[in-house]
Amino acid sequence: MLKPEPKPWIAAIRAYVPGTSKSASGRPLVKLSANENPLGSSPAALAALAEAHVAADYPDPDARALREAIAVVHSLDPALIVCGTGSGELLHCAVQALAGPGDEVLMSRYSFSLYPLLAQKVGAVPVFADPEGYGASVDRLLAAVTERTRVVLLDNPNNPVGTFLPPAEVARLHAGLPADVLLVIDEAYAEYVDPAFQTHAFALAKAHGNVLVSRTFSKAYGLASERVGWATGPAHLVDLVNRLRGAFNVSVSGQKAAAAAMSDQGFVAAAREHNARERARLAGAIAALGNHGISASPSEANFLLVHFEGEVTAGAALAALAEAGYAVRHLPSQGLPNALRITIGTTAATTDVIAALRKLCGEAAA
């Protein structure tokens, strides 16, 4: 054993595996493996980035202007918003605040691959509730709650499946939890959902003491590189996260770009519309390959989880898509050896992916 020895729960961690952008032979590929925005970023955000050239000074530790920009768009109290180095930092803080060695952090079997790490980092045990189909099951999550459960992590829409738990189901999950269990609703993909379903989690967090909602600028806002996320919830939870987060956790450029992006809701709407259109086109093409054992889970996010249960394997499809120039996400380490998660890319990318899958199945070009 190497000295100094880490804590046993730290030694057991396997580092987060990000999406690749290279083929097995090292050739660069178009990335459809990390759910990035194929439209790039809002021009307003890019202009703000070009102006944010002060590197010598610390950023505003409280991201005041950014929190106010978020509060205006979402009709929230800026005092109940906390910003993070991506929403990942905030999820980490939430788990760290409530769970420790011996405690349980509950999630659906197929959830964001970061979640088990968040539990392990604090010595807690990640507990996986069986899904329904592949998506989260409220009944099975509630049945898996024990007296050791401290936090429930729910990504809605879910990654890697893409399923969306409707507001009534999320409310039923919350209603079934003890008041001393924190429900974190991770809405990284909320902007891709029908706008009518985008505010229910905020209302739940406003009405209850044990709900925290997180959002990110990494997906529909197209600012993954800037590492900005935010969360909202009751004052005592926001206070806990504020104590645990990094003191200067969002850079000057990140704060400026995110605030400008918030004020350009037209870009977000365009991203949602592009995504809905191309996702429907890809889903339709995959449904047409059903006789080859290929299907996609229903998705409200900016990707499709595609299942390969016939003669064409996920591995063969991964290779064929790499050959066509695209990197997608194979998730055997998440218990999905027969599935690929394909990010919705540009219109050209969708066309190429469809053509590559049809060719692999021996079908004529569509």
Ligand X SMILES: *Cc1c(COP(=O)(O)O)cnc(C)c1O
Among 42, 120, 218, 295, binds ligand X (CB under 6 A): 218
Dihedrals phi, psi of 248, to nearest 5 degrees: -115, 60
State the minimum distance, in angstroms, from the CB of residue 153 to ligand X. Answer: 9
Among 38, 116, 229, 233, binds ligand X (CB under 6 A): 229
User: By C-alpha distance, which of 332, 312, 323 is closest to 353?
Assistant: 323
User: By C-alpha distance, which of 63, 26, 50, 55 is closest to 262?
Assistant: 63
Cα separation, 330 vs 32, in Å, equals: 11
Which residues inside 79-118 make contact with ligand X, applying CB under 6 A? 86-88, 112
State the minimum distance, in angstroms, from the CB of residue 224 to ligand X. Answer: 6
Binding letters toward ligand X, positions 42-81, x by CB under 6 A: ----------------------------------------
User: By C-alpha distance, which of 228, 206, 210 is closest to 219?
Assistant: 228
**Is the CB of residue 203 less than 8 Å from the CB of residue 170?**
no
Nearer to ligand X among residue 45 and residue 285 (C-beta): 45
State the minimum distance, in angstroms, from the CB of residue 55 to ligand X. Answer: 22
Nearer to ligand X among residue 33 and residue 210 (C-beta): 33
State the minimum distance, in angstroms, from the CB of residue 290 to ligand X. Answer: 27
CA angle 200, 231, 153 (to 5 degrees): 75
Pairing of strands 125-129, 182-186: unpaired
- CA distances for 65 relative to 68, 82, 104, 257, 258, angstroms: 5, 12, 36, 11, 10
Nearer to ligand X among residue 65 and residue 114 (C-beta): 114
3-state secondary structure of 354: helix
Cα separation, 268 vs 266, in Å, equals: 5
Pairing of strands 125-129, 149-155: unpaired
Distance of CA 10 to the CA centre of its chain: 24
Nearer to ligand X among residue 85 and residue 295 (C-beta): 85
State the minimum distance, in angstroms, from the CB of residue 321 to ligand X. Answer: 20
Nearer to ligand X among residue 39 and residue 320 (C-beta): 39
Binding letters toward ligand X, positions 148-187, x by CB under 6 A: -------x---x--------------------------x-
Cα separation, 272 vs 267, in Å, equals: 9
Total chain residues near ligand X (CB under 6 A)? 14
State the minimum distance, in angstroms, from the CB of residue 85 to ligand X. Answer: 7
Residue 117 CB neighbour total at 10 angstroms: 18
The packing angle between helices 86-98 and 235-244, to 10°, is 110
State the minimum distance, in angstroms, from the CB of residue 189 to ligand X. Answer: 7
Nearer to ligand X among residue 116 and residue 229 (C-beta): 229
Binding letters toward ligand X, positions 312-341, x by CB under 6 A: ------------------------------
State the minimum distance, in angstroms, from the CB of residue 219 to ligand X. Answer: 6
State the minimum distance, in angstroms, from the CB of residue 26 to ligand X. Answer: 25
Q: Is 275 in the site for ligand X (CB under 6 A)?
A: no
Q: Is 188 in the site for ligand X (CB under 6 A)?
A: yes
Q: Which residues bind ligand X (CB under 6 A)?
A: 35, 86-88, 112, 155, 159, 186, 188, 216, 218-219, 224, 229
